[in-house]
Structure 1
Amino acid sequence: MPLDPEAIFREHAPYVHRVIRQLGVAPGDVDDALQDVFVIVHRKAADFEQRGSVRAWVHGIAIRVAARYRRRRTASREVASGDEREAIDPRTPAEDLSDQDARRVLATILDRLDDEKRTVFVLYELEGLTMQEVAQAMDTPLQTAFYRLHSARELVYAAVRRHQVRENFK
């Protein structure tokens, strides 16, 4: 049975939007990247193989689109300002300052990871995909995905500890 691209959009657009932001696409490019993801979904829906979940397939497309936008931004030497790096899943302007700071710190830490580690960390730790779905979305062996998650966790936790130490000495 062929996939319905409109139904896929309705079901998956909110978290794809969030994932794209968490994967480092500049806030000004997020809507364009989201549109690119679902243009590809629409074009390739007829070719989808039922071997895996639609969610993992859409995530795989989002990963590749986000990487393309990050490369484009790097190639044009745009430097993200503090405002551009601010949000991972922002909620309201009335949010408490420490919550905003935590998201900014996480965005900065994630920016320092290589694409593969960042993607595994975001999809598993922040988006709640299973490791099987992460491996499928990244088109990588399951063991490789586990290794990347382990490495990413070590790097993220070490960066958080360094940040906490710096904050304690201010």
Structure 2
Amino acid sequence: MTLEEIFEENAAYVWRVLRRLGVGEADVEDVCQEVFLTVHRKLDTFDGSSALRTWLYGICLRLASEYRRRPHRRREEVAEAVPEQVMAAPQDETLDRRRALDRLDAALDQLDDDKRAVFVLYEIEQVPMAEIAKAAGCPLQTAYSRLRAARAQIEAAMRRYELGAPRGGAARITEGSNV
């Protein structure tokens, strides 16, 4: 399989995974490019012992983790005009969807990397748990335990948001154990 084929079939997947792993919307394009540069450099080392998407997820996980640790100094760019997508979209529906995604992102931000990885792969990307355990480098039961703990933390965070708890990361997730 060529890099071009891998990119065409998996760019949207990589984009979604990076966003759910905490890469900011303004930076996801750059980190996505880093993922495919890494794929280009390491494609000859991919042995096929795991699924291609599992391998890509491992690369995304490492780069997203590096991204979250580095300081961010991106300047905002002022748009000259309102984008067409904003003008054409039904505002209430778009706003509700954006708020729901923001709440999910905030809840995901409260998870540690191990739980977040398992939750995103299983619940959002629908990867089989055996592949997730392999990608995470842990026993299958540990992966299930992380998923259970992540679900509990996500549910608690979402309940707090529904009850009007402070937004913007002020509400910390404290339930569940660190697996």
Aligned mates of 1:32, 1:141 — CA distance in 2: 33
Q: How do 1:8-87 and structure 2 match up within 5 A?
A: 8-72=6-70, 76=71
Identity across matched positions, percent:
46
The answer to which structure has the higher helix fraction is 1
Question: What amino acid is the match of 2:31?
Answer: A
- When the two chains are superposed, the root-mean-square deviation of aligned CA atoms in Å is 1.7
Superimposed CA distance per residue, residues 83-116 of structure 1 (whole angstroms, 9 cap, x where no aligned partner): xxxxxxxxx6425122221111111111111111
Contact 1:58 1:137 in 2 (8 A): no
- What corresponds to 1:126 in structure 2? 124
- What corresponds to 1:157 in structure 2? 155
Stretches of structure 1 that go unaligned for 5 or more consecutive residues are 79-91
Question: What amino acid is the match of 1:154?
Answer: A
Question: What amino acid is the match of 1:5?
Answer: L
Larger radius of gyration: 2
Aligned length: 149
Q: How high is the TM-score relative to the length of structure 2?
A: 0.77
Q: How high is the TM-score relative to the length of structure 1?
A: 0.80
Aligned mates of 2:28, 2:163 — CA distance in 1: 33
Q: CA deviation at 1:166?
A: 2.8
Q: CA deviation at 1:22?
A: 1.0
Q: CA deviation at 1:140?
A: 2.4
Structure scoring higher RCO (CA < 8 A, sep ≥ 6) equals 1
